[in-house]
Amino acid sequence: MALSRKQKKELKKFKKHAVDVWSEQREVLGHAGKVIGDARDHGVKYANKTVVPRVKGAVDSNVRPAVSSGLAASSHAAAVAQDRWKHDVYPAVASYLSGLDLVNDPKVKKAVKNAKKQGSKVAAKYVPSKKKSGPGVGGVLLIGLGVVALGGIVFAAVQTLRADDELWVADDDADTKA
């Protein structure tokens, strides 16, 4: 199919425009990549200077004292309850039952054994457990920021390398021969 001069001229303008748009898009995406990198760097610096110390300070001044005082109170209460059980309740019940000659009864022995188990289970709940280790709040924030930055880089790369059929105009053999 032969093109008129006017159509060839318009086609040439469209090609030039497409090349210009493509180069502008590459520049914009390159600039966006730099901006994202700078934002990531500034975010890391800000988090290290401001967010991490504030969170650490809040944890040290508010959370740790409350948790440690609660653990101390609960372990003290568990120790007192266990001591009362051993020295006050159990001997009294044992002496009473021995007076009734029920101590030798297998059902009573089983009930006492179950009561000891349950008492130790309840006491074990209030004994402080080992401290868990892992990434703190700052680590989680930095990981999230890294994921967002990586997503931005991937997005910019995909936008740069994608094939937009609408932006490209196919070369004609007739155009190259003329």
Instruction: Tell which residue, 34, 55, 37, has the closest CA to residue 141.
Output: 55
**Containing H/E element for 141?**
helix 137-161
Report CA-CA distances (Å) from 139 to 37, 135, 167. 19, 5, 43
**Model pLDDT for residues 89-143, shown as the tens digit of each residue:** 778 777 776 666 665 677 777 887 888 888 777 766 766 666 667 777 888 888 8
What's the pTM value of the predicted model, to 2 decimals?
Answer: 0.32
**Model pLDDT for residues 17-63, shown as the tens digit of each residue:** 999 999 999 999 899 899 999 988 988 898 889 888 888 888 888 87
**Containing H/E element for 177?**
helix 173-177
DSSP 133: -
Q: What angle do CA 57, 60, 66 make, to 5 degrees?
A: 135
